[in-house]
Amino acid sequence: MRQKLLSEGASELSYEIREIVKKADQLRKLGLTISWENIGDPIQKHHKLPEWIKTIISDLMKEDDTYSYCPSKGMQETREFLAKQTNAMDGVQITAEDICFFNGLGDAISKAYQFISRTSRVIGPTPAYSTHSSAEAAHAAHEPLTYKLDPNNKWYPDLEDLYNKVKYNPNIVGILIINPDNPTGMVYPLEILKKIVDIAKEFNLFLLADEIYINITYNGARAYSLAEIIEDVPGISMKGISKELPWPGARCGWMEYYNRGKDEDFNRFCQALDNAKMIEVCSTKLPQVAIPKIFGDPRFKVYREETNQNIGRRSRIIADILRTVPQLTFNETFGAFYNTIIFRDGTLNSKQKIKIEDPKIKALVEGWVSQDNIALDKRFVYYLLGAKGVCVVPISSFCSELQGFRVTLLEEDEQTLTNTFTAIRDGIVEYLAS
């Protein structure tokens, strides 16, 4: 090329969660049946949307107006409806103008970091959800900046680590929280959120909250939203329908801007995000017109509560199976639909194995694990995949120094769920004893 083509940050873009799928597909082609524990897709795990939701959507599809253009920032009525919901929480107050729709949160996330000045950084949690950490790292052309979530303290953030990193890195302009968290299933307690608000105040930062799982809590937990706790700090909440409806293929998520009027720089940032949408001629109309009809229906609350309770019940089944392994650090989950399980220090080494009967599968797995410097948890994950056909994601793929793996709490067929997690436990026991 005449000039350098690729941006510096492009090498930071990776979605390791998908890498494991390529490996699993190779094994599937050799005849192995795979239990897909790698992706948070309720439908793949036998979840059925209630008929009344499908009826609302199919009725909308019969109306001509559904096929016309709509405002690039999103349908006015829908933004008014969502602003009202936020205002009812008795925290920060917003109007429809403070809401902007994106083509899913993935789009919102990449736009948000894209418009932050290259030298300014947003610090996020580790284990890190890669859509955020990759996009932030790509914008800065540096590796992600992270604060630790602590597996020995219910996955709560290590506030001292966060405070010190913010204090000693003047480039940090914002703190990301993912509440409830992916991949740990942790729900931020109110006191911790308040302390994060205090850090933002002390250092004049903005807060970014990914709240795609905000209505998915169970086992007695309640997630406090950014709107409730932010006081007068500038902030953005990111919300969407991919998880709580669930309807990821609608590619529909939105940002809510809080306290724009409190800081001119922040206000200009929000304006730039709106302008980025304005250069597109339309937004995702069908899901947007469906939102007030679905969220405004009293049946939605009942549906969500039942679905959450079921996730909670499955989380306890999984806990009963995996808690019995002393070499693991296991935390109960309270939100979203994942659990991250950690191998205690010193329990993994590069000699461990699980027996694989099929010679072709065995050869493939042995080839993968013979790579130089392969992370020890990835090595375990490959053996588990080859020997038991269970596809989980290594935690080292989430910008983490910890060793472990992420599973989902989604399988609705409880016998299948029990079989899968028993296979995981048996795999771990054999691997650690080998």
Ligand X SMILES: Cc1ncc(COP(=O)(O)O)c(C=O)c1O
Q: Rank residues 303 and 338 by Cβ distance to ligand X and give the closer one.
A: 338
**Using the rule CB under 6 A, is 131 a contact of ligand X?**
yes
**Using the rule CB under 6 A, is 21 a contact of ligand X?**
no
Binding mask 86-125 for ligand X (x = CB under 6 A): ------------------xxx-------------------
Looking only at residues 151 through 210 of this chain, which bind ligand X when binding is defined by CB under 6 A?
178, 182, 210
Number of residues engaging ligand X in binding (CB under 6 A): 14
Output the smallest distance, CB 86 to ligand X, in A: 18
Q: Rank residues 85 and 267 by Cβ distance to ligand X and give the closer one.
A: 85
**Using the rule CB under 6 A, is 41 a contact of ligand X?**
no
Output the smallest distance, CB 178 to ligand X, in A: 5
Which region, judged by CB under 6 A, interacts with ligand X, from 189-197, 240-248, 295-303, 340-348? 240-248
Among 9, 234, 246, 253, binds ligand X (CB under 6 A): 253
Output the smallest distance, CB 337 to ligand X, in A: 9
Q: Rank residues 40 and 389 by Cβ distance to ligand X and give the closer one.
A: 40
**Using the rule CB under 6 A, is 335 a contact of ligand X?**
no
Q: Rank residues 91 and 106 by Cβ distance to ligand X and give the closer one.
A: 106
Q: Rank residues 212 and 236 by Cβ distance to ligand X and give the closer one.
A: 212
**Using the rule CB under 6 A, is 246 a contact of ligand X?**
no
- Cα distance between residue 70 and residue 375, in whole Å: 48
Q: Rank residues 333 and 347 by Cβ distance to ligand X and give the closer one.
A: 333
Output the smallest distance, CB 106 to ligand X, in A: 3
**Using the rule CB under 6 A, is 134 a contact of ligand X?**
no
Contact (Cβ atoms closer than 8 angstroms) between residue 92 and residue 259: yes
**Using the rule CB under 6 A, is 144 a contact of ligand X?**
no
Among 27, 35, 40, 100, binds ligand X (CB under 6 A): 40
Q: Which residues bind ligand X (CB under 6 A)?
A: 40, 104-106, 129, 131, 178, 182, 210, 212, 240, 242, 248, 253
